[in-house]
Structure 1
Amino acid sequence: MRSSRRAVLGAAASLLVAGCSSDVLGLRRSVRVAVSWGGQELRAFHRVLDSLGNLDYTVEVVPLGDDISSAFGARSTRPPDLVMLPQPGLVPRHLRDLEPMPAGLARRSALWDELLVHDGTTYGIPFKTAHKSAIWYRPSVFRAAGLQPPASWPDWLTVNRALAQAGIRPLSLAAGDGWVLTDFFENVLLGIAPAVYAGLATAAAPRPSRQPQFAAALRLLGTMWSAPGSLAGGVQRSLVQQFPDAIIEVFGHRRAAMVLASDFAEPVVRQFAADPKDVGLFTFPSLAPGAPAPVVVGADVMVLRKPTTDDARDLVRRLAAPAAVDPWIKEGGFLTDVRLKGYSPELTRLAEQLAAPGELLQFDLSDRLGRLGDTNGLRRVLTDFLVKIGGRGAAVLPEAVDAAVGQMREVEG
């Protein structure tokens, strides 16, 4: 699940209305859109709606934050017509609640067919793509230490050691948002065992703990998190630090060199960077010699709830047009897989990687594991793992890995 990162960017508490003004008698046609966004992202979405021009209906935006799944509940007297679902993995589980997408929309990457197309019918269209293998860093720190962005996992460990020895904390970790920990783990697992990763993502009853590569990924990840001096503020600060705070730690307070943060971090990076020119980005490196680098992908997907209306279909068509999102792209922190241009240099690189043939791309695994990947599943396992090993050295890893595997096995039942 990814909705928590929108909430921490400033969830809106009230219903916001966009488009044409509503009739004073409340009889005007309307389309209700449920979103998980808050703060800058919600404001940017309203600018996108404003750019659509005059509509024959009102668009009512309902910001649900972490409760976005309630959009599929039966309690609401006025359920949303259109849901911006931040978990594409939920689409197959809600097919009976969804209407097919309108025909003739802009073609997305075939990567999406696995989740969004069923029996030849498309039930979702990506609105906003997320590149979850991006690491933002301060180039000046690397230059001062004579370092380059890492090309492999061993390189990354070497970079971290060199920074720590120079008195610089390498990593700022937003462990307060558990999905950041799952993103880290997913990149490692995908990098060392793509077939296992894909198998877990598509299994009817996944059992991650039964795969030896699950423990192997924990050990590799543990080598980074357990290294003394690796985490800014140590485990204590990491555990309470949320996504924007971790970015500010690097670029505002400058107490760390880098942070794992998706493309949607860009507005926070730009807003708080003490030196706007001291911003760099590299992507998760290869985990094995000669192996491709992992690329974990997420998205906000448009889905139509049953029963739908012609107005809701019209809004989907308008929002699916490649040019519709220009206002958001201009603000930063937005990627879509139907275009490669118009982004900042950093996001252009991410967009090109998402479009490159032969890349090792997979969807966010925790979103596809259901309850096994949620707050009480993989997130909790990784949080407890971090507590056991954070900054304590490699000697603690064997026992901590065994405990994490056992804990995951209990979750699986």
Structure 2
Amino acid sequence: MPSSRRAFLGAAATLMVAGCSSDVLGLRRSVRVAVSWSGQELHAFHDVLDGLGKLDYPVEVVPLGDDISTAFGARSGRRPDLVMLPQPGLVPRERSERNDLQAIPDELANPGRARLWEDLLVYDGKTYGVPFKTAHKSAVWYRPSVFRDVGVEPPRLWSDWLTLNKTLSDAGVRPLSLAAGDGWVLTDFLENVLLGIAPAVYAGLATATDPRPSRRPEFAAALRLLGSMWSAPGTLAGGVKRSLVQQFPDAIVEVFGHRRAAMVLASDFAEPVVRSFAADPDDIGVFTFPALAPGAAAPVVVGGDVMVLPKPTSDDAVDLVRRLSDPTAVDPWIRQGGFLVDGRVSGYSPELTRLAEQLTAPNGLLQFDLSDQLGPVGGINGLWRVLTDFLIRIGDRGSAVVPEAVDAAVNELRGVES
């Protein structure tokens, strides 16, 4: 999903070039690759390209950040030949509504792909995307030393998490750093809760042609549960005001750099930021979102970046997809941290190994990011804004305000859906 997390560890470069530009030298036409990454992620992708060896064509990497969707609407200049799309849920819509994508050649359309990728990337029997990067969106990074000092352990149930927060708060420790400045962090929280209490409803909304979450009582129930955490006084580091302006990397620094909070909900791609700012490299832990009730499976929400080919494509662009699909191609990025590959469980740090193993486990609940599949309802002017307003109404104000705030959020979302 587009977000300012793409800007961590430095400002975005406006253009990086692997090889020489054919537009300048008049040689073989370059393959232009549009990406949403910046900073460390962009540098890591450049290393991946360097590791491919000598290519018969130049490659230009064009960082578009939050504006990655503009790669499909270019009307002046050259369109990108390959897009690293961070919203897999857009693939069928781009294909069916705008006919913008070229089908992936059969030899690259992996028939053994996990069902979730298959559901997202196949349309009318043809494949329109190749997975490149998987994001584990149910990960919570924390400082084990704080837990030890207070005498608590990572939660196994949602109720345990609420108790843990209260214990930390009573001990003078702010439990949670929240990057509410990035609305997708708020949707990640809600998606985990909704998936945990109503997996069938979650899956139904993800595949509905006209999804209307506000009409589902389970959506309101998920808001109430979420409200029980966010409304608890003393939970949010810096309170609501700081949370609202705090973006993804800042929330991580709050925990591991400034050490003003104990934990942060942050995907696997947070790892380089965690390690860069951790005062103690041995004081890094990760647990995953707990089950919402005894005997229930724990939710696992995933996202990812997929390679898609805008029309018209070229043989060179297809060749680059083929090379990047090689299982060893991403080794340079894996060594730098913050990168997971679907189905691969080796070569990571201990923390990411745990997350990778959970993605391949046969038990538990596993679904793709819901907001990316809801269209505008799940975006910045939809669910993002609704959850931001919800946080403003309840943050640090106690549980008594939650019921009224839930009703307001449901009504606000209903207005977006209409």
CA contact (8 A) 1:20 1:54 kept: no
The residue type equivalent to 2:90 in the other structure is: L
Tell me which moved more, 336-345 or 126-135. Answer: 336-345
Q: Where does residue 210 of structure 1 map in the other structure?
A: 215
1:98-123 CA-to-partner distances (Å, cap 9, x unmatched) read: 11113333543222010101222111
SS at match of 1:83: strand
Q: Where does residue 85 of structure 1 map in the other structure?
A: 85
Q: Where does residue 337 of structure 1 map in the other structure?
A: 342
Q: Map 1:5-404 to 2 at 5 A.
A: 5-19=5-19, 22=22, 25-95=25-95, 96-105=99-108, 107-404=112-409
Q: Provide structure 2 residue ranges, at least 5 long, that are not aligned to the other structure.
A: none
- Alignment partners' CA distance in 1, 2:94 and 2:85: 11
- Alignment partners' CA distance in 2, 1:238 and 1:23: 45
Judged with a 3 Å threshold, the aligned counterparts in structure 2 of structure 1 residues 338 and 29 are, in CA distance, closer, same or farther, namely farther
* 1:352 CA drift (Å): 0.6
1:158-194 CA-to-partner distances (Å, cap 9, x unmatched) read: 1000000000000000000110000000000000000
* 1:153 CA drift (Å): 0.2
* 1:3 CA drift (Å): 3.4
* 1:132 CA drift (Å): 0.1
The residue type equivalent to 1:352 in the other structure is: E
SS at match of 1:130: strand
Q: Percent identity?
A: 78
The residue type equivalent to 1:99 in the other structure is: Q
The residue type equivalent to 1:215 in the other structure is: A
- Alignment partners' CA distance in 1, 2:93 and 2:24: 39
CA contact (8 A) 2:3 2:182 kept: no
* 1:289 CA drift (Å): 1.4
- Alignment partners' CA distance in 2, 1:11 and 1:272: 17
- Alignment partners' CA distance in 2, 1:170 and 1:299: 28
SS at match of 2:328: helix
* 1:23 CA drift (Å): 7.7
Judged with a 3 Å threshold, the aligned counterparts in structure 2 of structure 1 residues 400 and 15 are, in CA distance, closer, same or farther, namely same
- Alignment partners' CA distance in 2, 1:9 and 1:142: 27
Pairwise CA RMSD of aligned residues? Answer: 1.3
* 1:9 CA drift (Å): 4.8
SS at match of 1:28: coil
Q: Provide the TM-score with structure 1 as the length reference.
A: 0.98
1:231-256 CA-to-partner distances (Å, cap 9, x unmatched) read: 00000100000100000000011010
- Alignment partners' CA distance in 1, 2:149 and 2:8: 33
* 1:406 CA drift (Å): 0.7
The residue type equivalent to 2:36 in the other structure is: S
Tell me which moved more, 224-233 or 355-364. Answer: 355-364
* 1:217 CA drift (Å): 0.3
* 1:377 CA drift (Å): 0.4
